Amino acid sequence: MVARPAAAPPRAKASETQKPEPQAPGAVAPPPVEDKAEAPKDLAPLDFTSSKALSPVSPSEFSDLSETPGEIHVEGDMDPIEADIEQAAVLYANAQDEATRALLENAVHVHHFGPGERLWLMLFDFYRLNNQHAPFDALSMEYAKAFEKSPPAWRNNESPKPAAKAAVPAGTVLFKGDLTGDNDAAFAALDAAIDKNPKLRVELTKVKAVDDLGAERMLGVLAAVRKKKSEIELIGRDALAALLEARIETGRREESGCWLLLLEFYQLMGKQEAFEDMAINYAVTFEMSPPSWEPKRVAAAEPKPVLALAESADEVESFAPKGDLKAERFAGLPAFAEKHDPLILDFSVVTRIDFVSAGTLVNMLTPVKRQGKRVIINHPNYLVAELLGVVGLEAVADIVLAKH
């Protein structure tokens, strides 16, 4: 059994010499006690002024980590064009217009090719928003030389005037709903129009479905027009013909109304080969003589719809903030988003948006995107568009820039 070490004697003063006490037989001697008061040995002075000490380390002195498993890659500096774009967008968002202008004017003289065009377009919009015609025109000349294409046109930052609606020819009727036998309202409108107009123009572009009874009722309308010796023009025949083709099958004695209406459409569209092939199939399927081809009944090419386009334009609504958006809360946007899919935001007359407003917009649109709705931001100026990109709005919305 090992004896416990003897108690250490009282520590001597620094000036006295310590002598070890005798130990009992078999005892383990304690480790020597260092004298902390002993002066440290002299160290060589560190030279912080030597050029050698401050010289940079050569890259060759670093070990090559490219083959080391689990290596850490450090991204290089941001692309200089992207850096200038982001800085200019942030400066403009903070209403630092002089700094924005100085940065952009310097940047366009450095980046005058490829992706650098975005900086030019930002500067064009900066001049336009500040009503600076002369520098805008000077930049246009430089742009044409640098990019070899036409520069953006000057436009006022005002709400675009609604396009003038095309004149609606007399006797034009929009067939609302599907071409089905139970669509009494649409067929009643056609009957009323036949009585009032010697020339009828029926737009079928809204029709998304057809059934056999609906086809028979349309054949009745065409027969009534011919009986009155009036004229009728059917717009949207191609799309409706495709719906009819999907309903018929050679050898299946059903949908005879669809067969006959499709033959009528082929006649009007001048598709003689398709007409004759189908006429043979009709005779085989129904064991009846088909209508005959009449060259005089081929109609002229159908014009564009008028009422359908006007109605579609009226149906498209957008949420349209205006001017400088500072600490904007976008009141009314959540309720608007609930009723619309896609959700369209018109930014054509937004002159500036700050970080707070842009962040609020991201937070409000993210749940809309998660619902599966498409979110579109139409026609922001380039300064605003680039800031929306900085805050990450492109992850939840499609940003559609105006054509320049």
Instruction: Specify whether 143 is located in the same domain as 179.
Output: no
223 shares its domain with 270: yes
Structural domain contains residue 23: no
pLDDT in tens, the chain (404 residues): 444 444 444 444 444 444 444 444 444 445 554 444 444 444 444 443 343 333 343 433 333 333 333 333 434 567 899 999 999 999 999 999 999 999 999 999 999 888 999 999 999 999 999 999 999 999 999 999 999 999 999 987 665 555 445 556 777 888 989 999 999 999 998 888 888 888 888 889 889 999 999 999 999 999 989 888 888 888 888 889 999 999 999 999 999 999 999 999 999 999 999 999 999 999 999 999 999 999 998 988 877 777 655 554 445 689 999 999 999 999 999 999 998 888 999 999 999 999 999 999 999 999 999 999 999 999 999 999 999 999 999 999 999 998 76
Place of tokens 């028979």: 216
299 and 197 within one domain: yes
The pTM is what?
A: 0.50
Domain total of the chain: 3
Does residue 388 share a domain with residue 321?
Answer: yes
Same domain, 355 and 234: no
| 362 residue type, one letter | V
According to DSSP, the β-strands at 375-378 and 398-400 are parallel
> For 16-49, how does the pLDDT look when each residue is reduced to its tens digit (9 = 90+)?
444 444 444 444 445 554 444 444 444 444 443 3
Burial of 376 (0-12, 13-18, 19+ CB in 10 A): middle
The reported pLDDT for the residue numbered 41 is 46
Rounded CA-CA distance 281/288 in Å is 10
R_g of the chain computed on alpha carbons: 42
For residues 177 and 300, membership in a common domain is answered with yes
Strand partners, 210: 179
Same domain, yes or no, for 187 and 112? no
CA distances from residue 28 to 4, 5, 22, 31, 32 in whole angstroms, order as listed:
8, 6, 11, 9, 12
CATH number for the domain including 239?
Answer: 3.30.750
Residues 183 and 243 reside in one and the same domain: yes
- Kindly tell me the number of DSSP H helices and DSSP E strands found in the chain: 14, 8
AA identity, residue 34:
E
Residue 322, domain CATH = 3.30.750.24
Beta strands in 175-290 (DSSP E): 199-203, 231-235
Q: Are residues 205 and 285 in the same domain?
A: yes
End position of a domain, from candidates 147, 182, 197: 147
Tokens encoding 106:
């310097």
- Final residue belonging to a domain, choices 270, 305, 340: 305
Are 265 and 183 in a shared domain? Answer: yes
Torsional sign, CA 65, 66, 68, 69: positive
Provide the residue range defining the domain that includes 99.
Answer: 80-147
Distance CA(86)–CA(122), nearest Å, equals 11
